């Protein structure tokens, strides 16, 4: 069974969610309403049959919807902040 392709906007929402942004923060960054971001998130979960963000990220990676480089780049600031907090 083929997995439907995510739209570019759905990939953006997924990767920004992976970076820890809330729907409101994603909306502000992309110039969208929070409701529109929720609709994109719901659509991408439905398309790839995911139940939550972690599951969506895993499935998106496995089906080549996103690359590990994209995921790494999206979460890099989080990893840096975590490393900084650990040194304190």
Handedness of CA 2, 17, 80, 82 (dihedral sign): negative
Tell which CATH architecture fits domain 8-87.
Orthogonal Bundle (1.10)
What are the boundaries of each domain within the chain? 8-87
Does the pLDDT at position 4 exceed 60? yes
Q: Model confidence over 25-67: pLDDT tens digits?
A: 999 999 999 999 999 999 999 999 999 999 999 999 999 999 9
């Amino acid at each position: 069974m083929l997995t439907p392709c995510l739209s570019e906007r759905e990939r953006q929402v997924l990767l920004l969610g992976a970076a820890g942004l809330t729907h409101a923060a994603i909306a502000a960054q992309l110039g969208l309403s929070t409701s529109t971001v929720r609709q994109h998130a719901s659509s991408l979960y439905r398309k790839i049959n995911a139940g939550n963000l972690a599951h969506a990220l895993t499935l998106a990676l496995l089906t080549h919807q996103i690359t590990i480089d994209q995921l790494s780049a999206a979460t890099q600031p989080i990893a840096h902040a975590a490393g900084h907090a650990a040194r304190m």
